[in-house]
Structure 1
Amino acid sequence: MTRCEVSDEVWAVLEPLMPMVRGRSRPWTDHRLAVEGMAWKYRTGAPWRDVPERFGKWNSIYKRFTRWAQDGTWDRLLAEVQRQSDAAGKLDWVVSIDSTIARVHQDGATLRRDTGGSSNHKNPWSEPPDHAIGRSRGGLTCKVHLVADGRGRPLGWVLTGGNVNDTTMMTTVLEHIRVPRPTTGRPRIRPDRVIADKGYPSKANRAWLRARGIAATIPERDDQIAHRRKQPGRPIDFGDEQRTRYRGRNVVERCFNQLKRWRGIAMRSDKTARNYRAAISLAAALIWIKSDLG
């Protein structure tokens, strides 16, 4: 292979985290080859049937990927990678939040919009009723609401249809931050500071952050500033210090840039939101590992 996503250094981190073979009549084929085949499929955006035979049978790789998406293996693997990064002091808790749109390929839009399961965003493995596909000005789209750490690595994200407003999803996305502690105890769920653009400055969002002791760097929109002039109230502090902090918001854009280098993520061809989320988890885990190794 002239190009690969799973180098020896990356595999040394991934191998201890892979699922053990239990209760199977046949042993799994080489995990490393299978993961490389999954990465090849999403990196190139090719159909599963076009995965080269050097990685193994495409159907076996697809079934393994889907099984791990259903039982939450990919999210647990990413959480462990984040735990190791936090334990090494490499996780920056000044986070940035934003969203990006992914067009849905015609092969990924064949399921009816009411054939999913629960609409509970707190369970990332559940399948939403609309499969996280909505109709916006760009056609059938899926929106990835994502929060990244200060080094531009994905901390948590939520999938919705492309027609869902950003500000309504802010608290839900931040609630998906769950980094296990280096030792024992509850996962860390609260960042030190949240940086966001003018798509998130609602009173409800600011109150939610304030109640949890999370500092915020969110500029006001022009209409909010004009409304405050008519009905004077407590102004939002956005002086020189806040403007300097706001420059760090570009890390979430850099995070999207890294994820969308994978063509299977830049354009969604998965029918289910669960599998598309698993693909992002795979790419995110590799981004975290390579960042910490680099």
Structure 2
Amino acid sequence: MFTDEQWARIEPLLPSNVGRPARPFGEHRRVVDGMAYRYRTGIPWRDLPVEVFGPWQTVWKRHRRYAQDGTWDRILTEILAQADAAGTIDWKISVDATISRAHQHATNTTRPDQDTGASSNHKNLASNGGEPAGHGIGRSRGGLTTTIHRAVDGKGRPLANIVSGGQRNDGVMLAEVLADIDVPRVGAGRPRTRPDAVLADKAYATGVNREMLRERSIRAVIPEKSSQINARKKRGSNGGRPPAFDAELYKDRNVVERSFSWSKQWRGLATRYDKLAITYRAGVTLNAILNWLQRLGDTP
């Protein structure tokens, strides 16, 4: 799953318990390859080929540990910091969400009647283990589903990933998705958290979102809904002017759709088999890391 060059980039960033009372980690590359292989193929953890990846319990336990302590988020953050220092991040970002059907193996946990819309991201990993009360599974028109909310840069490379219940509206999650963007500076300076522009479809065309972007001095490239256009026209001169919209720049929004298409080549992400939202999201983050490693040479 990883080339030698890609592995050389992330190996120094992986945790080690050498010198601690516990048994030292061994065969990092084989275990991490097992994690990626499992999500790419969508097979049960127990079916991982032992002769290739070692005991499945080792692969699973280390994945669970890395999901809990935020290892994959720290590695992605470091890769983003290096890319930003090299000037290869295109800060005209696109935001969207995609639905993944939850398999029956993911839904046989106790879930409350409410609160299935709670989300899991890297900022709440420290509190409550990052696990939302409803395990990020909700009931939508497609049944029991999970939604991945994502922001990508202008080249379609992931900057933020949030998992929520499938019934969660895309538009109400915009502020949380943007809050998940936090790219540290390699040298001195505060982390980069504000994109130059946000490209999003009509699901995000609310007054609340436009006002939030305006307050943060972020250019909004979001088309109006037909209902909003009609309501404004009915009010005549009192309806005000339509919001600014760059139709030419909006054509670039498709990069987020291509990003989801790339991610869902991994069958374990296209269908959610994980019971816990944080382990599923860890798989999404691992996929994002590989996306960046394969495309670090892309320029804005």
Q: What letter corresponds to residue 250 of structure 2 in structure 1?
A: Y
Query: Aligned partners of 2:142 and 2:117: how far apart in 1?
Result: 26
1:56 deviates by 1.1
> For each residue in 1:10-39, what CA deviation from the matched residue of structure 2 results, as whole angstroms up to 9, or x when unmatched?
111111111122424322121111110101
Q: What letter corresponds to residue 282 of structure 2 in structure 1?
A: A
Alignment CA distance shift 1:41-1:24 (3 Å): farther
Q: How does 1:147-158 map to 2 (within 5 A)?
A: 147-158=151-162
Query: Aligned partners of 1:63 and 1:118: how far apart in 2?
Result: 27
Aligned match of 2:11:
15
Query: Aligned partners of 1:11 and 1:210: how far apart in 2?
Result: 41
SS state of the match for residue 140, structure 1? strand
Query: Aligned partners of 1:94 and 1:24: how far apart in 2?
Result: 47
Aligned match of 2:86:
88
Structure 1: state its 5+ residue gaps: none
Q: How does 1:71-220 map to 2 (within 5 A)?
A: 71-114=69-112, 119=118, 123-125=123-125, 126-220=130-224
> For each residue in 1:203-226, what CA deviation from the matched residue of structure 2 results, as whole angstroms up to 9, or x when unmatched?
000000000000010000100000
Query: Aligned partners of 1:46 and 1:233: how far apart in 2?
Result: 55
> Quick check: 1:143–1:161 contact (8 Å CA) kept in 2?
yes
> Quick check: 1:118–1:127 contact (8 Å CA) kept in 2?
no
Matched residues, number = 287
Which of 237, 247, 264 is the equivalent residue of 2:244? 237
Alignment CA distance shift 1:154-1:24 (3 Å): farther
Q: What letter corresponds to residue 145 of structure 1 in structure 2?
A: H
Aligned match of 1:38:
35
1:234 deviates by 2.3
Which of 253, 276, 286 is the equivalent residue of 1:282? 286
SS state of the match for residue 157, structure 1? strand
> Quick check: 1:117–1:127 contact (8 Å CA) kept in 2?
no
Is 1:252 the counterpart of 2:260? The answer is: no
SS state of the match for residue 107, structure 1? coil
| TM-score scaled by length of structure 2 | 0.92
1:127 deviates by 0.6
> For each residue in 1:151-199, what CA deviation from the matched residue of structure 2 results, as whole angstroms up to 9, or x when unmatched?
1011102111111111111111111001111213322111000000111
> Quick check: 2:94–2:255 contact (8 Å CA) kept in 1?
yes
Alignment CA distance shift 1:159-1:26 (3 Å): same
> Quick check: 1:121–1:172 contact (8 Å CA) kept in 2?
no
Alignment CA distance shift 1:227-1:233 (3 Å): same
Structure 2: state its 5+ residue gaps: none
Give percent identity, aligned residues only.
49
Query: Aligned partners of 2:190 and 2:55: how far apart in 1?
Result: 40
> Quick check: 1:194–1:215 contact (8 Å CA) kept in 2?
yes
Q: What letter corresponds to residue 97 of structure 2 in structure 1?
A: S
SS state of the match for residue 177, structure 1? coil
Query: Aligned partners of 1:55 and 1:30: how far apart in 2?
Result: 9
